[in-house]
Amino acid sequence: ETGVTQSPTHLIKTRGQQVTLRCSSQSGHNTVSWYQQALGQGPQFIFQYYREEENGRGNFPPRFSGLQFPNYSSELNVNALELDDSALYLCASSLLPPVATSTDTQYFGPGTRLTVL
Amino acid sequence: GESVGLHLPTLSVQEGDNSIINCAYSNSASDYFIWYKQESGKGPQFIIDIRSNMDKRQGQRVTVLLNKTVKHLSLQIAATQPGDSAVYFCAETTSYDKVIFGPGTSLSVIP
């Protein structure tokens, strides 16, 4: 177990709706990254939050937004859901910058399976 | 765009044999590489990593080899077990930057 938790585990929405997914980081980690994983593909980077600020973004439209809270937990919000948004959404926590006894390796949660009908 | 890809999408091996999963990357600036294992219904699990100043790193039953000349990464699993059956992803990153995943290789272990 990585200590990264996500909620909910499964979610069904309809087109046009909005969704909020949640992630709790591993203890001691200050950085959260979100990924979208379509069926049969590798995870695609959405964005990363470091100390409550966005710290890099992948090729996703603005309707994908996020927040990081002072306790380093995070939310992913998706507005105006589309059918293609159906995927497994993964969050991963890490420690940046890495200290001597750690790496910047990301540890993943179990994901939230989002289905858009 | 830059990408990380795998040569073989599926791999079947006999229990007890060694497995080799290959990966090609295209960003010569990447300096950190990671292998992840993903079992059905779970998030990717860290297996082993390697920095670009190394060409080999060993863990428990796993070895990662990095050939920067040809931009190639491999994961070797010794004495493959049924519990090793999963999808394996290689991933690359430059320090503190986004992690780019390859498409994955499905490893199936035959008892």
Contact B46 A107 (CB under 8 A): yes
Q: How much of chain B exceeds pLDDT 90, in percent?
A: 69
Predicted local distance difference test score (pLDDT) of residue B95:
60
DSSP string covering B11-54: EEEETTS-EEEEEEE--TT--EEEEEEE-TTS--EEEEEEETT-
Preferred mutation among B98, B100, B101 to probe A, highest tally of A CBs within 10 A: B98
Contact B43 A44 (CB under 8 A): no
Q: Average pLDDT by consecutive 10-residue portion of chain A (117 residues)?
A: 89 98 91 92 91 89 96 95 97 74 76 97
Q: What are phi and psi of B97, to 5 degrees?
A: -105, 180
Residue B100 Cα distances to A44, A69, B81, B111, angstroms: 7, 25, 28, 33
DSSP string covering chain A: --S-EEE-SEEEE-TT--EEEEEEPPTT--EEEEEEE-TTS--EEEEEEETTEEEEE-S--TTEEEEE-TTS-EEEEE-S--GGG-EEEEEEEE-SS--TT-----EE---EEEEE-
**Buried residues in B48-57 as b, exposed as e (16+ CB within 10 A):** bbbebeeeee
Chain A residue numbers touching B100 (CB-CB < 8 A): 45
Residues A28, B39: Cα–Cα separation, whole Å: 26
Quick one: pLDDT band at residue B103, thresholds 50, 70, 90?
A: confident
Chain B residue numbers touching A105 (CB-CB < 8 A): 34, 46, 49
Quick one: pLDDT band at residue B83, thresholds 50, 70, 90?
A: very high
Strand B4-5 and strand A112-116: pairing?
A: unpaired
Q: Is the pLDDT of residue B94 over 50?
A: yes
B46 touching chain A per CB within 8 A: yes
Sheet strands side by side (includes B62-67)? B4-5, B19-25, B72-77, B62-67, B56-58
A77: which residues sit within 8 A by CB, 6+ positions away?
Answer: A18, A19, A20, A21, A64, A65, A66, A67
CB atoms within 10 A of CB A70: 7
Chain B residue numbers touching A96 (CB-CB < 8 A): 96
